[in-house]
Each structure stands twice: as structure tokens, then as C-alpha cells.
Amino acid sequence: MRKLLFILALILVVSSFSQELVVYTYSSFASGIAQKVIPIFEKQYNVKVKLLSFGDAGNVLARMILEKDQPKADVVVGLDQPLLRKAISEELLMQFVPESISKVKDRSLLDPQGYGTPYDFGAIALVYNTEKITNPPKSFRDLLDKRFARKLVVQDPRTSSTGLSFLLWTIAVFGEDGFLDYWKSLRTSILTITPGWDEAFSMLETGEADIMVSYATDGAYSYHEYGSLKYLPVVMEEGAFVQIEYAAIVKGTKNVEMAKKFLEFLLSESFQSEVPLNQWMYPVIEIELPEAYRYASKIEKVLPFDYDLFDRNGKKWLEEWAKVMIAK
């Protein structure tokens, strides 16, 4: 009898274990939107979701690479296009396309290889101090104008994902052969290069710099949080550079069914409706945007970007960029 009880208890323990879904993600997802929507998912499927975050998405993927032989996560949330490709080429993910993907109207958001499920997207923009700049730059060429000399602060693409996106944006506009020349000319407009977004923003706040590289939804954010329209975004007329965030199932998980349900959930209305005011990104399904989004830049023309090229040459681009910009 006692033995039986023991075995029963063991089965209970084991089965309750499998009812735990381990999700790897970045910090702001875990302490932001997840707090609102994860309880809904847990209730809906009677499952416990264990969220683990390791700073930014790069850290998340680094950990997955290190844990490759014994993966601990069932689902990973937050890989953008380059990180998703890296994860695929490291064979860390399982192919899966949720049924609800049909709700995603813009087909260019989908992962052509069928691993990642897009759940939100945003665009890089230049954000300027409206009190100091009345005539903001409209295009990349415009940004080279004398009136912006030493006014712009950018993030180092070698240390910041925002900075990397901006670098890729210039490559999308000027091509592999032209972007370095553009950066050479841009040097006169750049005041300094910061290691991350935070430092750049503090420069805008203290009146040190007047323009920084940031996101298209920044105007909406500052209007919503502070009722302020002091800093407004502008997307260059050459076209927007879109950053898409994906979630995917981790290869080797024993929780495949629950993981699939989780990805379906990310495309549900209960999740997507929380995206605009928590992630400050655009939802991927048709949902009415909150009022604050009047002050987000419209993304009209999206620049195509060939990530195959990034896979092959990304390292070279960064090293060459450093050679042009640094330590002369």
C-alpha cells in the first residue's frame, strides 16, 4: 500500500512537472506584458508558466547556445530577425507554424523558414527634441546637413541592438558597398556613440544632444506616460527598417503540445491587444490602436533587407564599421 502511494505520488510529481512550461525571454517582456497576459494563459490551460529572463534577447540566445546539449526551455520569446536566423543555424529550434498565423495580414512579417512566430514589430526612427529642432531631418541625406553638426547621438552597433538596427538600416538604404561612405560623412553630425540606449537617452534629456536613434513609437510612449510631446520620432523617407520579434519552440522540448498552445496564444486577441501599450510595438493582427498611437510614426514604406547577407557578412560589416569609425 505504502509502495503504491509512493508511486502515485511520484506520478503526480512527474505529471505536475510536465505541466510546467518553461519560457526564456528578455527582461522587459518578463516584467512587462507577461505579468498581464501569462495569468490568462495559465488559467485557460491549467498550466504553470515559468518565465526566465536574462537581460536582453542576445543573452537569451547565448544561454540557449550554451545549454544546447540539455535544453531547459520549452519556448523562447523575443528573437528578432538576426537572432532568429542565428538560432536556426545553431539548430536550436523546432519548426512550427501556428494555425492562427492566418490572422497575420502582413505576410512579410512571417518567418519564411517556418520556425519563428511573429508576435509584434516596430521600426527604428530618429527621435528629436522639438524645442531645439524645428526642421527635423527627412532623409538620410538630410541628416548630413550642416544644421545637424554634432547634434546626433547613436548607439554603438557593437554593444547595442538599437545601434545594430540603425547600422543595418543604413545598409538597407545604401547597400553593402555604400554604407561605409555614408558613415564617413555622417561623422560630422555625430556628437558621440554610446554603449546603449539608456546613455543616449540621458544625453537627450540633459540637452546634450538633440537627436538620437530610437523607435517609431516613442512619441506615443511619451504622450501616454508623461503627456509630453517634447521628443518626437521621424522615420526617414527612404523607407522604414522594421524589427520583428519572434517566438519559437525549443528543439528537444517534452512539452511540444503546450508550447504550440502558447504560440497560438501569442496571436490571440488577449495577447495582441496588450502589445501596443506594454511592448510599445505594433501588434501583428488587426487590432484598433490606442489613441496615443497618433504620435507614433506611420510606417508606410518598408525597406526589404536580405538577412542571408547578414549571416554571411554581419561580422565583417561590424569590424569594418569599427575600422572606419574608431581608433584612427
Partner 1 sequence: MRKPLFLSLVPTVFVGAFLIYPLILLVVRFPQIDLLRVLSMNSSVVRFTVFQALLSALLTMFLGIPGAYLVARTRLPTAIKSLVKSASMVPFVLPGISMAVGFLLTFGNNGLLNTLLSVFNIKVRILYTFTAVLIGHVFYNFPLFIRIVGDAFERIDKAILEMASLEGVSKFKRFWYIELPLVLPAIGSAFALSFLYCFTSFAVVLILGGIKYSTIEVSIYMYLKVLLDFESALALTFVQMIFVALASFIFLTLSARTGEFSGETLKERHPKWAYLYVVAVVFFVFLPLFMSSLGGFLRYGGSFTFQNFKGLFSQTVEWIIGADVKSIIFFSLILSALASVIVCTIGLITSYISVRHNNLISVLTNLPISISPATMAFGMILFTLLPLPVKLGAIYTLISLPLAHSSLQNLWRNLPREIEEAGKIDGCGALQSLFFITLPIFKKELLGIFTFSMAIALGEITATVILSEGRFTTVSVATYKLFSTRHIGEAQALNSILMWIVLLLFFVAEHFTERPSR
CA distance 56 to 42: 24
Instruction: State which of positions 164-193 bind partner 1 (CB under 8 A).
Output: 164, 187, 190-193
Tell me if 210 sits within 8 A of 270, measured CB to CB. Answer: no
Select from 59, 117, 81 the least CA-distant residue to 260. 117
CA distance 126 to 211: 7
Instruction: State which of positions 295-314 bind partner 1 (CB under 8 A).
Output: 314
What track of x and - describes contact with partner 1 for positions 12 through 41 (by CB under 8 A)? Answer: --------------xxx-xxx--x------
Residue 24 CB, shortest distance to partner 1, in Å, is: 9
Q: Is 203 in the site for partner 1 (CB under 8 A)?
A: yes
- The region of 8-16, 59-67, 134-142, 286-294 touching partner 1 under the rule CB under 8 A is 59-67
| Contacts with 19 (C-beta within 8 Å, 6 or more apart), sequence order | 46, 47, 48, 258
Q: Which is nearer to partner 1, 10 or 326 (CB)?
A: 326
Tell me if 121 sits within 8 A of 240, measured CB to CB. Answer: no
Per this entry, what is the length of the chain?
328
Neighbouring CB atoms inside 10 A of 306's CB total 11
- The region of 40-48, 194-202, 244-252, 283-291 touching partner 1 under the rule CB under 8 A is 194-202
- The region of 110-118, 198-206, 253-261, 263-271 touching partner 1 under the rule CB under 8 A is 198-206
Neighbouring CB atoms inside 10 A of 220's CB total 23
Angle at 300 between CA 185 and CA 56, to 5 degrees: 70
Instruction: State which of positions 256-295 bind partner 1 (CB under 8 A).
Output: 280
Binding-site ranges for partner 1 (CB under 8 A):
26-28, 30-32, 35, 51-56, 58-59, 61-63, 65-67, 86, 156-159, 161, 164, 187, 190-195, 198-199, 201-203, 205-208, 221-222, 225-226, 228, 230, 280, 314-315, 318-319, 322-323, 325-328
